[in-house]
Amino acid sequence: MSHVVILGAGLGGVIMAYEMRDRLGPDDRLTVVNKGARYCFVPSNPWVAVGWREAKDICVDLAGVFETRGIELRPEGARRVHPERNAVELNDGEFLPYDYLVIATGPELAFDEVPGLGPAGHTQSICEIDHALAAGRAVKALMASPGPVVVGAAAGASCYGPAYEFAFVLDAALRKAKLRDRVPMTFVTPEPYIGHLGLDGVGDTRGMLESALRNRHIKWLTNSVITGVEAGRMAVQEFTEDGTPKATHDLVFALSMILPAFRGVAAVRGIEGLVNPRGFVLVDSHQRNAAFPNVFAIGVCVAIPPVGQTAIAVGVPKTGFMIESMARAAAANIEALLAGKAPRAEPTLNAVCLADFGDDGIAFVAEPQIPPRNVNWAARGAWVHAAKVGFESYFLHKVRAGEAETFYEKLMLDLVGIHKLKESGTTPAD
């Protein structure tokens, strides 16, 4: 009997658990360690922040689903990973041994790297459901007393889509309330250009997003660093493309939502050989760590180098489909190792994304996510909003049903030629 432990129950951890359960034998043990027993669909957080969703609409209690699937849930959370002794130290002091560990923690939010940033400071966040609910209260206050809004991301951030989505969704909500004319909006980002997204753009995301901002009267600052935030006031340093200081800005706001930079969680940060200096887990093409070969990692916690040089630090996003492909590969490779075979599965790391603007949006496909690409496509239209609503419903159905991938999803992906594993990785291991 083997014991596989998954650390984290976000998008990656939950899908990893279902993938792994399908591949383990009836006598093998599968445990998920998470702080709490709730999964929430993070892509819906912009809608929560403007009152279009409630927490109950997008959150799932995992205890019952996991029990049905034969997955043990440890909601105490992890204090520290001890890879040298093949154990996870839980927050209650217990040591949980494992044969294989999959790290799927997501990131720690580095609000402290900018004075005054974050829910404990003077800006809002939509990174977690509780943050989105707090942002929702701030949006209600804005509706009652309109004023300037600043939205964007801090230097070193690696997730830009939600910032754009929040800006556009808030714009739509304000227009619906007939208050948009009383709310000047500015978008602040370290990206070298609008629509870079940490990916050097996908298709014409630059033109599409610049057009969308311009049409909605949202000003923007690129190559910019937020140096500090006080109540109702933000200091921003803007740079040229070669990194030369260009201008300083003192932005006044009634509401601000800024995505922070990410770093690895405390449970793994500083473990030599396991993580990089930022605390992200080092893995090979099989999602496996070289120093500790029985440790795998998937999702936002994985170390991926930035796409080219930029004046300001711009991280690489790990999008949902990309994370699901990591989970598929990691599960297949652990299955191979348990059978005494070599790991061969490699994720395609493709990106299939829907960015909602409230009444329309942008969809893009990047195969692979990191350029150069075989497919580099983006399109805009009202259908994107409808598609994202449908995807929200579908993905939550998967989580509630305990399925990593339905027959219909596989059929659709096969029809359009989008796959989670590289062809070389689909061949059974020797």
3-class SS at 322?
A: helix
User: Measured between alpha carbons, how far is 357 from 181 in angstroms, rounded to an integer?
Assistant: 18
List the catalytic residue out of 40, 59, 127, 159: 159
* CA distances to 56, 97, 217 from 318, in Å: 26, 29, 29
What is the C-alpha separation between 258 and 277, in angstroms, rounded? Answer: 24
In the chain the first and final C-alpha atoms are separated, in Å, by 22
Burial of 93 (0-12, 13-18, 19+ CB in 10 A): exposed
Q: Helices in 83-204 by DSSP H: which ranges?
A: 129-144, 161-176
Residues constituting the chain: 430
**Residue 131 · residue 123 · CB < 8 Å:** no
Orientation of helix 129-144 relative to helix 161-176, angle to 10°: 30
Distance CA 262, CA 306 (A): 13
Active site residue 159: yes
Read off the tokens for 231: 């109540």
**19, 404 in Cβ contact below 8 A?**
yes
Reply yes or no on whether 127 is catalytic. Answer: no
Backbone angles phi, psi at 277, to 5 degrees: -60, -25
C-alpha span between 153 and 166 (Å, rounded):
11
Query: Which segments of 159-302 are extended strands (E)?
Result: 185-188, 218-221, 224-230, 233-239, 245-252, 255-259, 262-263, 295-297
The H helix count followed by the E strand count for the chain is 10, 22
3-state secondary structure (DSSP) of residue 201:
coil
- Write b or e for each residue in 289-321: b if 16 or more Cβ atoms lie within 10 A of its Cβ, otherwise e: beebeebbbbbbbbbbeebeebbbebbbbbbbb
Contact 271, 279 (CB under 8 A): no
Residue 246 CA to residue 224 CA, distance in Å, equals 9
| Catalytic residue ranges | 159, 353
